[in-house]
Amino acid sequence: MSAAGRPVRPGNYAQQARTYDYTRGASPTVVRTVAKYLGTPGGLLLDIAGGTGNYAQVFQARGFRVVVVDASVDMLRRSVPKVGSGRQVAADAMELPFRDQAFDCAMLVHGLHLIPEPSRALEEVRRLVRAGPAIVMDPTSDNVPLFVHEYFGIKPSAASRPSTAQLVAMLQSAGFGRVDHELVIYTDSVDGSLHALHTSALHLAGPAYLRNTSFWMGLDDDTRRAGLAALARDLRSGLLEERVGAHFAQAAVQGHETVFAAWP
């Protein structure tokens, strides 16, 4: 439990909320990709696990009416200056307090991997959207594997994320009739997720960037110190820059993440 008596969720967003927007903004790579599927602005858009509202702000400016829903009130609070008050709902993505077909479309960016039962969340999205699309963006096990874990002595389990085919099947089981997907390749690190940070050696080695990731929240202090020292060493020698370059070449083939667009 947090000091305020609320349950601490994976990623500890009560803590991340304090610094999140220092390194996590609306990535042009993500905006371009989501915009392509959302189509004509004007509809009511639900941003699920919308956090501090970075993407909701962009799509509101483009003409969508937005509602941001998130499990963390600390994250949500930061969205108020961006999209206005009265547009936030604190709720779990697995049980959303809205009537059926209350929204034209929805997006779930960098949130699915944090939800304990992702298929339940996808069923909720399907229940809530009218024409769609529902857009889900997350890394799958088919996307490029990250290497930053090695610096912290961690071996990520290959089974920790669903494959692209499994996610398509989950969306279909949730009741979506048409599901498209494509690779996302970051050309910026504006939204400093762990995947986007792999495009910049300087950012990847920077504690200010890493601390706004769920990965960092799972590490103890000694592991953090040792990993940062190893990253700093390879940044100085130029090895980190080389690894980032090689990683990008692999990401160009496998993608950093995958975007799914689903219609009822």
Contacts with ligand SAM, residue ranges (CB under 6 A):
9, 13, 49-51, 54-55, 70-72, 75, 92-94, 109-111, 114-115
Q: What residue number has its CB nearest to ligand SAM?
A: 51
> To the nearest whole angstrom, how small is the minimum distance from the Cβ of residue 94 to ligand SAM?
6
Q: Do residues 30 and 184 make contact, with C-beta atoms less than 8 angstroms apart?
A: yes
| Residues composing the chain | 264
Dist CA 185 CA 172 (whole Å): 25
Nearer to ligand SAM, 61 or 229 (CB): 61
Nearer to ligand SAM, 117 or 180 (CB): 117
Q: Enumerate the H helices of the chain as residue ranges.
A: 13-16, 20-23, 28-38, 54-61, 73-77, 80-83, 118-128, 148-151, 164-173, 194-197, 201-204, 207-210, 214-217, 221-237, 239-254
DSSP classification of residue 108 = E
Dist CA 203 CA 218 (whole Å): 19
Nearer to ligand SAM, 143 or 240 (CB): 143
Nearer to ligand SAM, 13 or 152 (CB): 13
Nearer to ligand SAM, 55 or 152 (CB): 55
Helix, strand and coil content of the chain, in percent to the nearest 5, comes to 45, 15, 40
> To the nearest whole angstrom, how small is the minimum distance from the Cβ of residue 93 to ligand SAM?
4
> To the nearest whole angstrom, how small is the minimum distance from the Cβ of residue 263 to ligand SAM?
21
Residue given tokens 């930053």 in the structure block: 148
> To the nearest whole angstrom, how small is the minimum distance from the Cβ of residue 91 to ligand SAM?
7
Nearer to ligand SAM, 212 or 240 (CB): 212
> To the nearest whole angstrom, how small is the minimum distance from the Cβ of residue 130 to ligand SAM?
21
> To the nearest whole angstrom, how small is the minimum distance from the Cβ of residue 50 to ligand SAM?
5
User: Residue 203 to residues 70, 105, 231, 236, 250: CA-CA distances in angstroms?
Assistant: 27, 33, 11, 13, 19
φ, ψ for residue 15, nearest 5 deg: -80, -45
Dist CA 76 CA 61 (whole Å): 18
Nearer to ligand SAM, 90 or 226 (CB): 90
> To the nearest whole angstrom, how small is the minimum distance from the Cβ of residue 3 to ligand SAM?
17
